[in-house]
Amino acid sequence: MKFLAAVAVVFLATAAPALAVAAPAKPAAAKRVVLPTDVRPDRYDISIDPDAANLKFSGKAKIDLTVVRATDRIVLNAADLTFGEVRLSGQAAAPKVVLDDGRQTAAFVFPKPLAPGKYALSIDYAGKIYQQASGLFTLDYEDTDGTKRRALFTQFENSDARRFAPMWDEPGVKAVFSLTVRAPAGQMAVSNMPESGKTGDAVRFADSPKMSSYLLFMALGDFERIHKQVGKTDVGVIVRKGDAAKGEFALDAAAKLLPYYDAWFGTPYPLPKLDLVAGPGNSQFFAAMENWGAIFYFDYALLIDPKLSTEADRQNVFIVVAHEMAHQWFGDLVTMAWWDDLWLNEGFASWMENKATDHFHPEWKVWLSTQSGQQSAMRLDSRAGTHPVIADIPDVFAAANAFDAITYQKGQAVIRMLETYVGEDAFRTGVRNYIRDHAYQNAVSDDLWKALDKAAPTKKVVDVAHDFLLQPGVPLIRAKETAGGVALTQERFGVDASQRTPQTWRTPVNVRAANGHWLEVVSAEAPKTVPAAAPAVINAGQTGYFRSAYSPELWAKLAPTFASLPAADQLGLLYDSRALGETGAQPMSDFLALAKNTPPGADPVVLDALSSQLGALDWLYGGRGGQASYRAFARAQLSPVAARLGWDAKAGESDNAAVTRRNLLSQLGELGDPAIVAEARRRFDAWLKDPSTLTGAARRTVLSIVAANADEATWEAIHAQAKASKDPTDRARLYGYLGASENPALADKTLALALSGEPKPTEVPGLVAAVASSFPDKAYDFAMANRAKLEEFLEPTSRTSYFADLATASRDPAMLDKLAKLKATVPASSRGEVEKAEAAVRYRLGVIQTRVPEMDRWLATNGG
């Protein structure tokens, strides 16, 4: 699943002193809420008869099962299902049905214990069709002629297959699935496997491989399919009728990626077809889902429209396709045994998306871009509310908390660090052996480490992996010049008392200097000295997951070389100097001076990162004194870049330059640059008169700037465009722009619109979240006041994280009391999401109190 990360925020941290600490062991797990293991499903035969107009469906499930140990009941998962006749082969009497809504289970209780053996359980039932992406759900849209349409899709991860059919809805319980769907005339039904037959309007699909329940998929609607034969696999893209041309880019990407993955994993893709299925709408939680053989994507993550899409959209589509296709091996063919090893799916797919994208599009420099995601993980990982990558997950409700930057971005960062440490060839050999040995089965993290240790026996991969995955936190590597070279020591980088407990990590550290390159494993218990001549770069290439701190003497020699460093190391110095500056471990002037001295001709990814970092610091001011001086400083750094890039695309420029142009101009608009805002308004007015004057990135750039600086007339003009748009992706974006205004009255107007009934159900959460980007307290208060109504539009397992995310960017101490009240209303296993928001607000308040005045003093003498 391609997770949607929350908005990045600034951070405050401190370093814990280095002490001798024992290597981590996996903590004892809390008692898990799981199904009994005395009955095992072998095969499901599920028939679905949807009534889309009335948001309900009826179903029949025949489950071939094995009773492993004598028992008087069969317990499986069920949520929002009602039961009719239930029958078990060999049993004359129907069982008693006992429902547990809290645990989402149904127990079929028999008068006498069932003897071990094979049985067939037949169940008639009925369920709901939802209007948010959980279980079987609808996405409504209009054709270009205004005809209203309704399509059906399913979304089951992490625990919503139980809303589609009664089943063992746990990743460690694999079985074969057969699906039959009643499809109205003219509509296409889609599932994991090819169609195997049709009786009347009932479409039957071939049996799936043995797989976990959350990977089952169904779609039904007015679709068309484009496809290519790639080796033995029929690769297709399924879209709404009329959108076939928009799917060509994704189809081409999939056709390239499939043979690359076949070769890299050493195990060919095993299904006869692979479909990429587009759905018109949005989720507050995810962009795509890796259902085996039928990957689901929201339109914006799969389709390219030349009139509307940007260079960043093209990159994003390729990356998301690469991510979900990587899951066909890591996640689908080999599945984690339980949700505590979710990172095995998501961390690996996040890493592989970058590796594959870099292979086909090295010009995009994706390893540079991915550093911003790693920073999100480090921010979260250095404050209260973090968790180990391999975290205890007591129930499926807690599993929803694991879909975060720790699992995805830290997971992929650790994998990249390990690949660099053991070498590409040995790493790939270990992964190939792991996939081969666990195909169609479940696995745990140590299965992967054992395979890598065999492939690279001198590296002791398991030791490094356990240090980074079984304990939370971020290492801090300090570098100091000595007579023998550069001394490396380790501490802990943390933002509060919860993250100052000393820990040790066996950390692979790359050091590069003019006289050589070294790779050493450094820990709190084992400092190292390398014979590097200053200036030396630690974490050279930025492949390690740690913060880097240079002694003042070493920094004084390194900082002047900033412009000549590789782009990856420029990014590392920018990110680390800001992080350490906000802790007080180093002066904020280190970051501000680097920002001031970043050349306008630096790599576009570096300039993009600089722009976002300057924008994040601007958020700290929030109208406070000194903001005008800070904004003048930030604009002075970005304006020369904007002048060089201009407003319009240039022949022969790189895709990354185009991406940076849009982001940088938008940032200058948010910083109130009068010339930028005026030009955006001029282009916006021309576009209202003639829509052909703006397309693609230029259109989005102008809209983002005028939306942030909107008056009521501009807001109404964008609103009219949103209501008139027939493209679901464009419509949702236009509605989102309504929430971007920095005018509080317009923010109130947007919030009222959100629950007016005008936006489509999947657009409602995004409208409120858009307001939170400028007015987090206002958006949060609105959401709490309308909590019950808003929850109708939210996926059940992500409701807590949605409300907490609205508050995350707050600069008001009163928000902490509000979050405490929210935490008291949610299940204990979901409170970690609220604690993350609390920690974010606390450290932001600390930065505002201690570091903003320091910035003001520096700007007073150096800002010009």
pLDDT tens per residue across span 639-669: 999 999 999 999 999 999 999 999 999 999 9
Contact of 323 with 2, CB cutoff 8 Å: yes
Under the banding of pLDDT at 50, 70 and 90, the label for residue 33 is confident
CA distance 770 to 755: 14
Contact of 770 with 703, CB cutoff 8 Å: no
How much is the pLDDT for 397?
82
How much is the pLDDT for 458?
92
How much is the pLDDT for 162?
98
Contact of 331 with 1, CB cutoff 8 Å: no
Residue 800 one-letter amino acid: T
Residue 16: pLDDT over 90: no
Catalytic amino acids?
A: 324
Q: pLDDT for 528-569, tens place per residue? A: 999 999 999 999 999 999 999 999 999 999 999 999 999 999
Contact of 276 with 236, CB cutoff 8 Å: yes
Residue 11: pLDDT over 50: no
Geometric angle at alpha carbon 487, from 486 and 489, rounded to 5°: 140
The average pLDDT across 218-241 equals 98
CA distances from 185 to 38, 144, 149, 203, 222 (A): 43, 21, 14, 11, 10
How much is the pLDDT for 10?
31
CA distance 816 to 813: 6
CA distance 270 to 193: 11
Residue 22: pLDDT over 80: no
Residue 31: pLDDT over 80: no
- Residue 409 DSSP class: I
Q: pLDDT for 282-295, tens place per residue? A: 998 899 999 999 99
Under the banding of pLDDT at 50, 70 and 90, the label for residue 500 is confident
Q: pLDDT for 386-444, tens place per residue? A: 999 999 999 888 888 889 999 999 999 999 999 999 999 999 999 999 999 999 999 99
For helices 852-862 and 831-850, what crossing angle results, to 10°?
40
Mean pLDDT lowest for which of 17-26, 178-187, 285-294, 441-450?
17-26
Count of CB atoms within 10 A of residue 682's CB?
Answer: 12
- Rounded to the nearest 10°, the torsion over CA 406, 407, 412, 413 is 20
- Entry pTM: 0.96
CA distance 685 to 704: 14
Under the banding of pLDDT at 50, 70 and 90, the label for residue 5 is low
Residue 29: pLDDT over 60: no
Residue 372 one-letter amino acid: S
User: Going by C-beta distance under 8 Å and a sequence separation of 6 or more, which residues neighbour residue 454?
Assistant: 430, 433
How much is the pLDDT for 64?
98
Residue 136 one-letter amino acid: L
How much is the pLDDT for 402?
86
When the pLDDT of each residue in the chain is averaged and rounded to a whole number, the result is: 94
Q: pLDDT for 48-64, tens place per residue? A: 999 999 999 999 999 99
How much is the pLDDT for 501?
86
How much is the pLDDT for 200?
95
Buried-exposed string 33-55: b where 16+ CB fall within 10 A, e elsewhere: bebeebbebebbbbbbebebeee
How much is the pLDDT for 19?
39
Residue with tokens 């968790």: 387
The average pLDDT across 857-864 equals 89
Residue 498 one-letter amino acid: S
How much is the pLDDT for 358?
98
How much is the pLDDT for 26?
53
Q: pLDDT for 134-158, tens place per residue? A: 999 999 999 888 899 999 999 999 8
The average pLDDT across 823-847 equals 93
How much is the pLDDT for 361?
98
Nearest of 417, 384, 393 to residue 505 by alpha carbon: 417
How much is the pLDDT for 4?
64
Q: Are strands 135-142 and 195-199 parallel, antiparallel or unpaired?
A: unpaired
- Residue 514 DSSP class: T
Cite the DSSP H helix spans in 388-481: 396-399, 405, 411-422, 424-438, 445-455, 461-469
Rounded percentage of the chain residues whose pLDDT exceeds 90: 90
Under the banding of pLDDT at 50, 70 and 90, the label for residue 15 is very low
Rounded percentage of the chain residues whose pLDDT exceeds 70: 96
